[in-house]
Structure 1
Amino acid sequence: MTATATPPRQDAATIHAATGRRRRIAAWIAIGLALLVVGGIGGAVSAANQWAQRGALDPDSTGPAGTRAIAEILREHGVDVVVVRDRAAASEALAAVEATLVMPDAPALSDDVVTALAEAADDVVLIEPRSRTLDLLVRGSAPAGVAPDESVEPDCRLEAAVRSGAVAPGAVYRAGDDTSACYAAADGFGLVVHATDAGRVAAVDGRALFTNEHLADNGNAALAVNLMGRHPLVVWYMPGAGDTDLADADPSLGELTPPWVSPVIVLLLVAGVAAGIWRGRRFGPLVAERLPVTVRASETTEGRARLYARAGDPLHAADRLRIGALRRLATLLGLAANAAGPEIADAAAGRTGLDRRAVRGILLDEIPRSDAELVALSTRLRDLEDAVRAAVRPERSPR
């Protein structure tokens, strides 16, 4: 006869642990795939809206703060709108034909560059004027606060404003010498216009009037067309952060840092990751471990009693006995778990009819000096508990 070897049966706990591990791995894989899908969708949406949601006052933006609407209106009126994002392209476009320069605030450009761009244009429309730009191009003018949110009539002789009608100007400006001012509100004017040899420079709050969100209000669209559409070409200059001619005199943090710092930081990060992988604990299923010895509760109690006896401290042992007795008495008497010792002693004396001072002596006051006194106190504690139990739960008399 030939003996047939039977394969060993797998333990049920091992099979269950392996199944649970596979489920956890599958769950983490599903979470990772979900994160990748969500990230991909977010990236696609962000890429699709990258050009539609440019910065404020950008003529390529269809968002609420963009100015795409007024650019399209100007094109419908036969005005060519060219959007440039660096000063070299702006200068080249302005040199071609008669043109209007539309420009927001350009803090990255020096005074000489801002002045040169304005002189190259026939008309200039400042749609986000600041103090420096006003001082350069509209002498004597300066910001003067914000007007109330209500429509204001032009109340001036400037034809572009008169034809446009009332607007809610937003920011207002103080008018300088030889400057026409319209839309008086608060402490200034919503529109200031300074005549130059080639044309004029107009300053107006474009955020409150010319953005896609506000263009349809009052006479905002008409005012924009009247200010920007006087020439066949509008050069809309949107300066970028890197388009600057200013030399940065303040050193950056990278310039102040020694060259060896970056490699050291990278090395420390790599070392930290390696140490985490090396010393990291791999969490797996819990493993039941058999203890070498099972100790009965009575043995631990006897061992602790022997330690108390060897220490020669009967008062400490008495305190442990009293704490247990007070806890059990509080339960028998229906008192709260946090009831004080005197309260429990008074309740026990009142329920059993015993002398209150004697009960307090047993539960609180008496100090055992020897082992014999400790044994006597233990006996009296047991007798007091029996008396309270008999008073609280009296045995039914037999019929």
Structure 2
Amino acid sequence: MPEGSFHDASALLPGARKGRGAITNPAIRFDRHNTVAFDDGWDTLEDEAADLPPLATTLIRDSSRTALAWNKSPDIGFDRSINPYRGCEHGCVYCFARPTHAYLGFSPGLDFETKLLFKPQIAELLEAALRKPGYTAAPVALGSNTDPYQPVERTLKLTRAVLEVLEQFSHPVTVVTKSAGVLRDIDILSRMAARGLARVCLSVTTLDAKLARSLEPRASTPERRLDAIARLAEAGIPVAVLAAPMIPAVNDMELERILERAASQGADRAGYVLLRLPLELGEIFEAWLHQHMPERAAKVIALVRQTRGGETYDSRFGQRQTGSGPYAEMLNRRFQVAVKRLGLDRTQQGHTGPEGLRSDLFNVPDRPGEAKQLSLF
């Protein structure tokens, strides 16, 4: 990395950091030069890495002038999304979005979870987009890349501002999160859900609190996520569970138990994703494995390669989410059997479109004062 890219030079040192998922900060793939930690023969590097200080979170204003991101991916169930934040303080070591941080000039490693970009004008930009002539409504995914309810949302409240705009326009939305913080906005979500405009998906990676602390250190505990499913369902909000990612020989044995617990809490749908390791993520995840599970690291990587044609990742549509080969096929079969047994394939009666949401209620409201002005003519 170029000199000056780090606020804390100790981020170069490999090792577990309190409250952080990644233990490395790989170089940005677009840079011609990078800096690495080097032991000059005094055997001090290991000592320095043994007692690393906490890394603070830095907030950076994002100057983006658009609110909606569009995609044409055939294996994704939505064509538009909103992400109030780039980077994610949850620190999930397996996060497929980590490599996107390189486009911003930051490392996909520790930088991804400590250098966060936020979009202060996201609500205004969204309203402008929805008012454009010819805009056609369809469910928008909130939190498709990074979590809309990561810790910083407690103070910035950008996700709530987005939901307020969507409710004003009667625009359908699906929320994906691994945070119980979504309960803060249960008032808006319940009103929208009553009209067929909202669905929430809670991601539950593991039921093991100890494993969750190292895999996703600043996300809500598994029990709090399960409780959030129950409270959302009680409020009449359709809620799904996403068992993701399933990591071979790490949490894959929990698939059925995750689905069972979620169903008992009121989830009506389910999904899963096999571990994806694009670009730098392979290096980041493998370093985490050697740090936290050295005795099974080789086995895990070998199984991952079995599902990706001998590589650590296969980016082809239709393959990247579920993988291929015997292990992937077995996991998919287990999921299908469990979903059918638990009734996690229910649809919302009276609603149409993706995720059972309505797009026909979309309406562009008058601007404040606009109706009064028109009434004068």
Higher helix proportion (structure 1 or 2): 1
Q: Same fold (TM over 0.5)?
A: no
TM-score range, shorter chain: under 0.3
Specify which structure has the bigger relative contact order, considering alpha-carbon pairs within 8 angstroms and separated by 6 or more residues.
Answer: 2
- Tell me the TM-score normalised to structure 1 length: 0.24
